């Protein structure tokens, strides 16, 4: 059916020109009605007669007055091969009733809704395309939004959640405590390089990194941060030359954990393994802290420590074309490191953020990719404070966008250059929000999943408690059997290995995580062997 030409001028007319945060808006010039019976007599231009043969409906049409009627779903209904499917769903009985602009749509809707034979009547509501912060430099923050869509879908994610007061520890060169985009966010931190309580930034790296994670956002000034309302715990572990000792780093990890940090970002790394550094990493990990680190910028298969440790979430960097960043802007031989330990990648080339001494500047490197991920973890942990550290890792992996980079590097599923893909904030927050309860032998379990309109994965399951089996399914996906893990084995080693045998009564703990790949989503699959011990007493395995 051809689209009536007369419709075009009306499509941008709304009932009230108010900001998105104001009252709901609707179309000015028509409203929507579904009838119990389909109309007949469609003209070649797609309009229907104004006389339906139903006296009450015809009277309302005359008195409103309705100017013409056409299909609401005119584009979809144009496919005649799907006519039966559309009719079964009642789509061919939903119409636009066009009225003069300025008509009281609410009153018209109320009148038509009361007529027998009208299934529903409602305004054609207006929605917005994502929450855009009013920070004036946001338009230069390509990582969150750009025309090519080689971005992390920040505005779409912020339409769901902008993050609460989770504490994100930023282990770096410190922070500019007077910067207008940071000052209100900073908690009392520590300077491990100079051993004092003044973690002031004397380099600039930390100020940029902290603002990427959580600048003061939607305040009409400067830039936006990934987590709008997260608090920053500034810990200076790098000196004025942007260098620091492992012992400082480990000490800061312990201090941050003891002072309430739920997310930790270290945009630094070294080539040497270290028991001292691992002590700090594992202390934070055992306490449930999500530790985000970097692969580093040497353009080699040589992910640096602590990003190489299994407890951290290792983040590589991409450019504005979604490719592994090589080189970065500051050095022709630089590039995002890669390797088997990488989890995900995020934008890291020319990332605008706060500058030491006020103002703003762009930096390049995996150092800029990691704090965006740390801020995203702050958002999802704000949505679900009980979210475990391994759940956060799997959430990032499953919601990442695969096959975005160079074809030779970014292959389907995991690859050493991009991990499980480039992070997508929108998919991650929608997965964190989409939780439903399942009934399993009278016990509570949780499935986290996306609906069909936003497929991160067909299923995303974390089950805890005294559950012998899980047999229910949703959207055609059966979760299968619960994995029963022991809780009497030593702590996981650096490769994340744990004992998966059947535990003795009283020592068991259930944990299942499984992802099934979906089109457009990361293809991470299998059952996790890294369980969270946030509640070791949650239940026993069946005998």
Which residues are identified as catalytic?
172, 205, 367
DSSP state of 27: E
Contacts of 292 (CB under 8 A, 6+ apart): 263, 264, 265, 266, 312, 313, 315, 370, 371, 373, 374, 377
Place of tokens 């010039």: 29
| Cβ proximity of 232 and 186 under 8 Å | yes
- Helix (H, G, I), strand (E, B), or coil: what is residue 324? strand
Q: How far is CA 492 from the centre of its chain?
A: 28
Cβ contact 201:232 at 8 Å: no
Q: At 347, give phi and psi (nearest 5°).
A: -55, 135
Q: Are the C-beta atoms of residues 370 and 346 closer than 8 Å to each other?
A: yes
As given in the structure block, the two tokens for residue 19 are 């900001």
Pairing mode, if any, of strands 312-318 and 290-294? parallel
**φ, ψ dihedrals at 380, nearest 5°:** -70, -30
**Helix (H/G/I), strand (E/B), else coil: 219:** coil
> CA nearest 98: which of 10, 220, 35, 19?
10
Rounded Cα distance, 175 and 121, in Å: 55
What is the Cα–Cα distance from 280 to 163, expressed in whole angstroms? 27
Maximal C-alpha separation, the chain: 86
- Phi, psi at residue 429, to the nearest 5°? -70, -30
**Stretch (H or E) spanning 281:** helix 275-286
Half-sphere CA count of 297, side-chain side, radius 13 A? 23
70 by DSSP, 3-state: which?
A: strand
Q: How far is it, in rounded angstroms, from Cα 347 to Cα 341?
A: 18
Which two tokens mark 278? 């691992």
The bridge status of strand 231-236 relative to strand 167-172 is: parallel
Instruction: Please return the burial class of 495, using the count of CB atoms within 10 Å of its CB with bins 0-12, 13-18 and 19+.
Output: exposed
Q: Give the closest residue to 246 by CA, choosing from 273, 264, 283, 206.
A: 273
Name the 3-class secondary structure at 81. helix
């Amino acid at each position: 059916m051809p689209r009536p030409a007369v419709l075009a001028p009306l499509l941008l007319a709304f009932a009230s020109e108010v900001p998105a945060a104001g009252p709901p808006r609707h179309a000015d010039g028509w409203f929507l009605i579904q009838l119990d019976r389909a109309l007949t007599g469609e003209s070649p231009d797609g309009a229907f007669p104004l006389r339906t043969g139903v006296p009450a409906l015809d009277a309302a049409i005359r008195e409103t007055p309705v100017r013409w009627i056409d299909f609401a779903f005119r584009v979809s209904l144009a496919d005649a091969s799907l006519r039966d499917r559309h009719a079964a769903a009642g789509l061919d009985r939903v119409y636009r009733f066009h009225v003069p602009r300025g008509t009281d749509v609410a009153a018209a809707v109320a009148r038509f809704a009361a007529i027998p034979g009208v299934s529903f009547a409602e305004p054609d509501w207006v929605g917005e395309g994502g929450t855009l912060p009013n920070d004036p430099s946001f338009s230069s923050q390509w990582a969150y939004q750009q025309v090519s869509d080689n971005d992390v879908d920040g505005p779409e994610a912020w339409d769901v959640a902008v993050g609460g007061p989770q504490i994100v520890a930023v282990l770096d060169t410190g922070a500019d405590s007077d910067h207008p985009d940071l000052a209100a966010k900073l908690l009392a931190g520590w300077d491990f390089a100079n051993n004092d309580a003044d973690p002031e930034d004397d380099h600039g790296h930390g100020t940029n990194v902290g603002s990427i994670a959580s600048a003061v956002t939607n305040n009409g000034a400067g830039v936006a941060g990934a987590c709008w309302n997260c608090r920053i715990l500034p810990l200076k572990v790098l000196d004025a030359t942007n260098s620091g000792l492992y012992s400082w780093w480990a000490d800061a990890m312990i201090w941050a954990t003891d002072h309430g940090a739920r997310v930790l970002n270290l945009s630094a790394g070294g080539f040497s393994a270290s028991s001292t550094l691992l002590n700090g990493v594992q202390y934070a990990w055992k306490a449930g802290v999500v530790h985000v680190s970097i692969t580093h910028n040497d353009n080699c298969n040589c992910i640096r420590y602590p990003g190489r440790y299994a407890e951290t979430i290792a983040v590589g960097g991409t450019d504005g074309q979604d490719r592994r960043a090589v080189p970065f802007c500051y050095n022709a031989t630089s590039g995002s490191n890669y390797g088997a330990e990488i989890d995900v990648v995020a934008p890291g080339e020319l990332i605008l953020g706060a500058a030491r001494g006020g103002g703003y500047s762009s930096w390049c490197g995996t150092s800029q990719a990691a704090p965006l991920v740390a801020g995203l973890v702050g958002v999802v942990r704000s949505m679900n404070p009980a979210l475990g550290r391994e759940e956060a890792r799997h959430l990032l992996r499953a919601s990442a966008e695969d096959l975005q980079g160079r074809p030779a590097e970014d292959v389907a599923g995991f690859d050493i250059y991009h991990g499980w893909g480039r992070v997508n904030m929108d998919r991650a927050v929608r997965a964190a929000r989409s939780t439903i309860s399942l009934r399993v032998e009278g016990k509570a379990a949780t499935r986290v999943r996306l609906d069909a309109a936003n497929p991160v994965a067909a299923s995303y399951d974390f089950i805890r408690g005294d559950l012998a089996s899980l047999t229910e399914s949703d959207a055609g996906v059966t979760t299968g059997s619960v994995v029963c893990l022991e809780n009497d084995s030593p702590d996981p080693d650096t490769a994340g290995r744990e004992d998966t045998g059947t535990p003795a009564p009283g020592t068991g703990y259930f944990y299942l995580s499984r992802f099934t790949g979906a089109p457009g989503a990361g293809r991470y699959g299998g059952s996790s062997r890294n369980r969270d011990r946030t509640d070791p007493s949650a239940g026993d395995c069946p005998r």
